[in-house]
């Protein structure tokens, strides 16, 4: 059975304590590889490698770092098919999704920041009448920690690593233990691209041990984390007394506001995607659907018809719409929320059942599920489920729609479907969300800030925001006669 290895100081190595964790193929429910159960000793080795590499890497030219990141992007692109297959095998997502979205985006992340660092600039200010001149230096931080989730494994792993490296930092990174394979392959890619030893170190293991060792390391100066809100809160409590820089991209319970004047067919097609893409395992999925009352009955009928037509199947079949959930415990968690919804008086309009897929009988497959709710304060409407489950509910006025949308502790993204410009501008401004999509969903421009409000996180990723996070600003004031 294949053993995934840690990538430290440019070389692959086994965990120091010789302990391993089973890695499952979700589509079949079978162990197919082992990953290191890394300890604090492994994290310390990674830190020491990053520390040793930092002075040289931080003093390289911007052009050199840009060239290395561009090479990494090109190698990812050249190995698209193999990486996509590996991602699908490891995560359970449809191969078509990994091929069209996940792996191309991982390549784009490196290429974007390879370009962005060459355009990154800072401010200068002449103090007229005082004979002084101020300018701002943006300097790399040092050794930083990057911890990424299982839902978009290489996509979100590289979203953190690329800007960290571009800004001149060295990195100790931990991918999710649930989906480690493409992060492991990234080590090989970085070696081929000529990334100097120790600049990127990838340590595999559990969140409460390996991840905790990264977060509490006294000399890792910044933490970029994407994952659940409870874990983010724990990281904040740990890191705050150590005065580390923190970027936390956490959970979401995103509203989808559908008004009667929308382009109905376009809305329906995109709402299916925003509900069930990647088995609903995207922090940006629109899991709460609110529909204007005048079209609610029609929407409910049409939406359920389209949802029941989605194919649940093997990730490797070309016509599969919904693949396997990432793990058995996660599938059981999602199923528990469907039961909670029924207990709270919700009506399951379709789905909710586990699916047996031929040849994959032990896989973690679940029907896409639509639940009609009458009370927006019910648990299934308030708590993040992170699976192929959405709730639907009618509203009558813009004010009611806004109250429903903002009536949760999360604030990551929102979607509005309307052709009314005044309504768009009014609601977009008042929605408590870091991202607002209007008549679209998941249309991303990597130059824009990404992140959430309230319990959805702290800070922003993307574009110049990411480069600002991974640098320290220093003001220099020069007085002259």
pTM attached to this predicted model: 0.96
**How do residues 223-256 score in pLDDT, each as one tens digit?**
999 999 999 999 999 999 999 999 999 999 999 9
The answer as to whether 33 is a domain residue is yes
> What is the percent of the chain where pLDDT is above 70?
100
The answer as to whether 451 is a domain residue is no
The CA distance from 389 to 383, in Å, is 12
- Tell me: pLDDT of 312 over 90: yes
- Tell me: pLDDT of 306 over 90: yes
- Residues with Cβ < 8 Å from 336, sequence gap 6 or more? none
Confidence class for position 437, pLDDT limits 50, 70, 90: very high
The answer as to whether 450 is a domain residue is no
The answer as to whether 16 is a domain residue is yes
- Among 214, 255, 254, residue whose Cα is nearest residue 231: 214
> Based on the domain organization, do 175 and 71 belong to the same domain?
yes
The answer as to whether 264 is a domain residue is yes
The CA distance from 286 to 405, in Å, is 11
Specify whether the backbone of 454 is left (phi greater than 0), alpha (psi in -120 to 50) or beta: left
> Based on the domain organization, do 309 and 180 belong to the same domain?
no
**How do residues 387-414 score in pLDDT, each as one tens digit?**
999 999 999 999 999 999 999 999 999 9
**How do residues 29-86 score in pLDDT, each as one tens digit?**
999 999 999 999 999 999 999 999 999 999 999 999 999 999 999 999 999 999 999 9
The answer as to whether 205 is a domain residue is yes
> Based on the domain organization, do 111 and 221 belong to the same domain?
yes
- Tell me: pLDDT of 481 over 90: no
> Based on the domain organization, do 340 and 405 belong to the same domain?
yes
H helix intervals, 79-225 = 80-91, 95-97, 103-119, 153-166, 181-193, 212-215
Beta carbons of 167 and 470 less than 8 angstroms apart: yes
The CA distance from 17 to 35, in Å, is 13
Beta carbons of 231 and 381 less than 8 angstroms apart: no
Q: Higher model confidence: residue 129 or residue 422?
A: 422
- Tell me: pLDDT of 26 over 90: yes
Predicted confidence at residue 198, as pLDDT, reads 98
Predicted confidence at residue 316, as pLDDT, reads 97
Confidence class for position 130, pLDDT limits 50, 70, 90: very high
Range of the domain at 378: 255-445
The answer as to whether 422 is a domain residue is yes
Predicted confidence at residue 73, as pLDDT, reads 98
Predicted confidence at residue 118, as pLDDT, reads 96
What phi, psi does 231 have (nearest 5°)? -65, -40
Q: Length of the chain, please?
A: 481
Beta carbons of 109 and 155 less than 8 angstroms apart: yes
End-to-end CA distance of the chain: 73
Tell me which residues are annotated as active site: 249, 283
Helices and strands (H, E) in the chain, number of each type:
16, 23
- Tell me: pLDDT of 424 over 90: yes
Predicted confidence at residue 439, as pLDDT, reads 98
> Based on the domain organization, do 208 and 268 belong to the same domain?
no
> Based on the domain organization, do 279 and 188 belong to the same domain?
no
Mean pLDDT estimate for the chain: 97
CATH of the domain at 441: 3.40.309.10
> Based on the domain organization, do 382 and 473 belong to the same domain?
no
Measure CA 84 to chain center: 17
Measure CA 312 to chain center: 23
Predicted confidence at residue 221, as pLDDT, reads 98
> Based on the domain organization, do 212 and 345 belong to the same domain?
no
- Among 398, 458, 399, 406, residue whose Cα is nearest residue 432: 406
The answer as to whether 277 is a domain residue is yes
Predicted confidence at residue 1, as pLDDT, reads 85
Query: The tokens of 255 are what?
Result: 């509203």
> What is the percent of the chain where pLDDT is above 90?
99
The CA distance from 171 to 222, in Å, is 10
State the average pLDDT over residues 130-152: 97
- Residues with Cβ < 8 Å from 392, sequence gap 6 or more? 289, 290, 291, 299, 300, 303, 349, 370, 371, 372, 373
> Based on the domain organization, do 229 and 259 belong to the same domain?
no
> Based on the domain organization, do 361 and 430 belong to the same domain?
yes
CATH of the domain at 133: 3.40.605.10
Predicted confidence at residue 455, as pLDDT, reads 97
State the average pLDDT over residues 438-445: 97
What phi, psi does 466 have (nearest 5°)? -65, -40
> Based on the domain organization, do 209 and 290 belong to the same domain?
no
Number of domains in the chain: 2
> Based on the domain organization, do 242 and 303 belong to the same domain?
no
């Amino acid at each position: 059975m294949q053993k995934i290895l840690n990538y430290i100081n440019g070389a692959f190595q086994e965990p120091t304590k010789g302990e391993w964790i089973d890695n499952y193929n979700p589509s079949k429910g079978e162990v197919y590889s082992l990953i290191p159960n890394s300890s604090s000793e492994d994290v310390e080795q990674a830190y020491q490698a990053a520390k040793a590499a930092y002075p040289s890497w931080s003093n390289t030219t911007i052009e050199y770092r840009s060239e290395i990141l561009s090479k990494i992007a090109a190698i990812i692109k050249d190995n698209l098919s193999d990486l996509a297959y590996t991602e699908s095998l490891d995560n359970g997502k449809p191969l078509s999704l990994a091929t069209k979205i996940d792996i191309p985006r991982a390549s784009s992340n490196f290429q974007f920041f390879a370009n962005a660092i060459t355009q990154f600039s800072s401010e200068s200010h002449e103090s007229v009448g005082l004979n002084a001149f101020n300018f701002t230096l943006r300097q790399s931080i040092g050794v930083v920690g990057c911890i990424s989730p299982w839902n978009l494994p290489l996509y979100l792993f590289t979203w953190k690593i690329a800007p960290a490296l571009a800004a001149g930092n060295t990195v100790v990174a931990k991918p999710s233990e649930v989906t480690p394979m493409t992060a492991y392959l990234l080590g090989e890619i970085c070696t081929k691209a000529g990334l100097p030893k120790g600049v990127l170190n990838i340590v595999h293991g559990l969140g409460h041990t390996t991840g905790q060792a990264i977060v509490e390391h006294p000399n890792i100066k910044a933490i970029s984390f994407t994952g659940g809100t409870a874990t983010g809160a724990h990281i904040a409590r740990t890191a705050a007394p150590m005065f580390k820089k923190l970027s936390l991209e956490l959970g979401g319970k995103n509203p989808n506001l559908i008004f009667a004047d929308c382009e109905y067919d376009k809305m329906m097609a995109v709402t299916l995607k925003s509900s069930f893409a990647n088995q609903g395992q995207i922090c940006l999925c629109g899991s709460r659907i609110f529909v204007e009352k005048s079209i609610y009955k029609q929407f409910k009928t049409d939406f359920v018809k389209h949802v029941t037509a989605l194919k649940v199947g093997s990730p490797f079949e070309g016509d599969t719409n919904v693949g396997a959930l990432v793990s058995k415990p996660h599938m059981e968690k999602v199923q528990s929320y469907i039961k909670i919804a029924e207990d709270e008086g919700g009506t399951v309009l379709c789905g909710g059942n586990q699916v047996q897929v031929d040849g994959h009988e032990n896989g973690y497959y679940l029907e896409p599920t639509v639940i009609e709710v009458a009370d927006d304060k019910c648990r299934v409407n308030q708590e993040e489920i992170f699976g192929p489950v959405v709730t639907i509910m009618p509203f009558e006025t813009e004010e009611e729609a806004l109250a429903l949308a903002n009536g949760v502790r999360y604030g990551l993204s929102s979607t509005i479907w309307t052709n009314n410009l005044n309504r768009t501008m009014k609601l977009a401004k008042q929605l408590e969300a870091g991202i607002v999509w209007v008549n679209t969903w998941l249309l991303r421009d990597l130059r824009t800030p990404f992140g959430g409000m309230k319990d959805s996180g702290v800070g922003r990723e993307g574009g110049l925001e990411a480069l600002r996070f991974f640098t320290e600003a220093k003001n220099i004031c020069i007085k002259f006669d």
